[in-house]
Structure 1
Amino acid sequence: MTSSTAPLIAVIAGEHSGDLLGAGMLRELRNRYPDAEFIGVGGPLMQAQGLTSLIPMEDLAVMGIAEVLGSLFKLLGHRRLLVNTFLERRPDVFIGIDAPDFNLPIAKRLKAAGIKTVHYVSPSVWAWRQGRIHGIKQAVDHVLCLLPFEKAFYDEHELPATFVGHPLADSIPMTWSKLAAREHLQLATEQQWIGVLPGSRKGEIARMAPLFLKVAQRLHAEQPNLKFVTPMISAARAEQFRNLQQQIAPDLPLTIIDGQSRDTMAACDALLLTSGTVTLEAMLIKRPMVVAYKFNWLTYQLIKRLFKAPFFSLPNLLANTLLVPEFAQHEATEENLCQALTTQLQPSAEQTITRFTELHEQLQQRADMLSADVVSQLLNS
Structure 2
Amino acid sequence: MKYYIIAGEASGDLHGSNLMKELKKKDANAEFRFWGGDLMQEQGGTLVKHYRDLAFMGFIEVVMNLRTILKNIDHCKQDIVKFQPDCVILIDYPGFNLRIAEYVKALNTKVFYYISPQIWAWKQNRVHKIKKVVDKMFVILPFEKDFYKKFEVEVDFVGHPLIDAIENERKEQPTFEDFLRTNDLTKKPIIALLPGSRKQEISTMLPIMLSVVKDYPNHQFVIAGAPSQDESLYRPFLKDNSISVIFGKTYDILQQSEAALVTSGTATLETALFQVPEVVCYKGSFVSYHIAKQLIKVKYISLVNLIMDREVVKELIQGELNTKMLKEELGKVLIGGEKRNKLQADYKELIELLGGVGASELTARLMLENLQ
The TM-score with structure 1 as length reference comes to 0.90
* 1:1-381 correspondence to structure 2 within 5 Å: 7-173=1-167, 180-186=175-181, 190-216=187-213, 220=214, 222-234=215-227, 236-245=229-238, 250-251=239-240, 253-347=242-336, 348=338, 349-363=340-354, 364-380=356-372
In 2, Cα distance between the equivalents of 1:314 and 1:43?
Answer: 23
The answer to whether the Cα contact below 8 Å between 1:169 and 1:361 also exists between their aligned partners in 2 is no
1:173-197 residue CA offsets vs partner (Å, 9 max, x unmatched) = 4997999235324266752321111
Compared with structure 1, are the counterparts of its residues 118 and 357 closer, same or farther at alpha carbon in structure 2 (3 Å cutoff)?
same
- Structure 2 Cα separation of the partners of residues 256 and 49 of structure 1: 27
Query: Which stretch of structure 1 is more off in the superposition, 190-199 or 322-331?
Result: 190-199
RMSD (Å) for aligned C-alpha atoms: 2.2
Unaligned runs of 5+ in 2: none
1:308 is paired with a residue of what secondary structure? coil
CA contact (8 A) 1:42 1:57 kept: yes
**Distance change in 2, residues 1:283/1:182 (3 Å):** farther
What is the deviation of 1:13?
Answer: 0.8
SS in 1 for 2:211: helix
TM-aligned CA deviation for residue 361 of structure 1: 3.1
* Structure 1 stretches lacking a partner, 5+ long: 1-6
SS at match of 1:54: strand
Which of 230-239 and 354-363 deviates more?
A: 230-239
Q: Is the 8 A contact 1:288 1:350 kept in 2?
A: no
DSSP-derived class of the 1:55 partner: strand
- Return the alpha-carbon distance in structure 2 between the equivalents of residues 130 and 184 of structure 1: 44
Residues 134-143 or 173-182, more deviating = 173-182
SS of corresponding position for 1:200: coil
Could you say if the C-alpha distance between residues 69 and 326 of structure 1 is closer, same or farther in structure 2, counting changes exceeding 3 Å? same
Deviating 4+ runs (over 3 angstroms): 173-179, 187-190, 234-237
Partner amino acid, structure 1, of 2:175: A
Is the contact between residue 32 and residue 46 of structure 2 (CA under 8 Å) also seen in structure 1? yes
Letter in structure 2 aligned against 1:366: G
Q: Distance in 2 between matches of 1:240 and 1:67?
A: 19
One-letter identity of the residue aligned with 1:242: R
Q: Distance in 2 between matches of 1:23 and 1:42?
A: 9
Looking at structure 2, the residues matched to 176 and 47 of structure 1 have their Cα atoms a distance apart, in angstroms, of: 22
One-letter amino acid of the counterpart of residue 136, structure 2:
H
Whole-angstrom CA distance in 1 between matches of 2:41 and 2:128: 33
Q: Deviations over 1:243-283 (max 9, x none)?
A: 122xxxx2363122232011112221111111111111110
Equivalent AA in structure 1 for residue 65 of structure 2: S
State the Cα distance separating 1:61 from its structure 2 match. 2.0
1-structure distance, mates of 2:140, 2:358: 11
Q: Could you tell me whether the CA contact under 8 Å between 2:190 and 2:259 is conserved in 1?
A: yes
Q: How many angstroms does 1:110 deviate by? A: 0.7
